Amino acid sequence: MEPRNDTGISAFLLLGFSEDTELQPLIFGLFLSMYLTTVLGNLLIILAIISDAHLHTPMYFFLSNLSFVDICFTSTTVPKMLVNIQTHSQAITYAACIAQMYFYLLFVELDNFLLAVMAYDRFVAICHPLHYTIIMSPQLCVWLVLVSWILSVLQALLHSLMVLRLSFCTDIGIPHFFCELKQVVQLACSDTFPNDLVIYFASVLLGGGPLASILYSYCRIVSSIRAISSAQGKYKAFSTCASHLSVVSLFYCSGLGVYLSSAATHSSHSSAPASVMYTVVTPMLNPFIYSLRNQDVKRVLHSFFGGKV
């Protein structure tokens, strides 16, 4: 059964970044290049991990899942924007908007959980190295990813069902390049208090929870590294989590920056350009961060392109 709302609104308008027709080709080319780079880079990471038996470890298992999620995450928003620019249309149907919102929430929350799981993996590797293979068993790794998927699916489904109960009036212009949850809720002409309440509690529990676990893991990691006597040992221990720490910093700093800047300016239009950082730029940079700072991944990629190992 196709989702409907009480007011008969059949479509929304994605207002995007600018209505200036001269800027549209530039925006199209920029986002198309970033999207292709994201897909190609993350696919190479996945293929490298699958093809090399030395990379069949918990850390790279989680990394391959993160790369897959990043491809899906970007594919949820960018292709529709590119199609709209190419067809000179801003329209997105009501059903497509709800679907885009659902998958966006699903994959952004999966990113959140996977980064927390990867932080736990680094915590065990550095703080309990002798028991690492026992603790991080294949069964536990699969369960951690499976639970992340289940929680993300339920969270995205809850928000989407809460939006379906809203009524929308004549204002159907979304000041964004995709159907972002808060922007859509703000357009409703019915009571949005339950939606705002769910958004708040979900942000605290499902957003703050993984972030808190990441901070706790790295506090323990830093304490363990400081206890190492040799400088070489400290460097080796830190290098195993440097890439993940870079990705975590990029993801959370850009995400927090979006909401802090929009709250400070009280402008919904300002969040669209800022959102590009964590919806497009961060998934694009993740493969470069892991390939440039990781010798194992660099070795496999060199062999892919005929380089010397």
The arithmetic mean of pLDDT across residues 204-214, rounded, is 90
Let me know if residue 309 belongs to a domain.
no
Return the amino acid letter for 31.
F
Q: What range defines the domain where residue 244 resides? A: 11-304
Q: Which residues contact 101 (CB under 8 A, 6 or more apart)?
A: 159, 160, 163, 179, 180, 181, 184
CATH classification at residue 229: 1.20.1070.10
Let me know if residue 2 belongs to a domain.
no
Residue, of 135 and 21, whose pLDDT is higher: 135
pLDDT, residue 46, reads 93
% of the chain with per-residue pLDDT over 90: 54
pLDDT category at 71 given cuts 50, 70, 90 is: very high
Q: Check: CB of residue 55 under 8 Å from CB of residue 297.
A: yes
Element (H, E) at 42: helix 24-51
Let me know if residue 4 belongs to a domain.
no
pLDDT, residue 4, reads 47
Let me know if residue 147 belongs to a domain.
yes
The pLDDT tens digits of the residues spanning 243-256 come to 888 889 888 887 77
- State whether residue 10 is helix, strand or coil: coil
Q: pTM score > 0.85 for this model?
A: yes
The arithmetic mean of pLDDT across residues 87-95, rounded, is 92
Let me know if residue 3 belongs to a domain.
no
Domain count within the chain = 1
Dist. CA 92–CA 71, nearest whole Å: 21
The arithmetic mean of pLDDT across residues 23-51, rounded, is 93
The pLDDT tens digits of the residues spanning 126-151 come to 999 999 999 999 999 999 999 999 99
Dist. CA 44–CA 291, nearest whole Å: 10
Q: What is the DSSP letter of 284?
A: H
E strands, 131-249, are: 173-174
Residue 261 confidence (pLDDT) above 70: no
Let me know if residue 119 belongs to a domain.
yes
Compute the C-alpha angle 150/249/304, nearest 5°.
80
Rg of the chain (C-alpha set): 21
The pLDDT tens digits of the residues spanning 176-202 come to 899 999 989 999 988 899 999 999 999
Place of tokens 């960018």: 78
Element (H, E) at 11: strand 11-14
Q: Residue 67's Cα: distance from chain center in Å?
A: 10
Let me know if residue 1 belongs to a domain.
no
Residue 2 confidence (pLDDT) above 60: no
Dist. CA 273–CA 28, nearest whole Å: 14
Let me know if residue 6 belongs to a domain.
no
Beta-ladder partners of 91: 13
- Max mean pLDDT range (9-18, 211-220, 297-306): 211-220
The arithmetic mean of pLDDT across residues 283-297, rounded, is 81
pLDDT, residue 36, reads 97
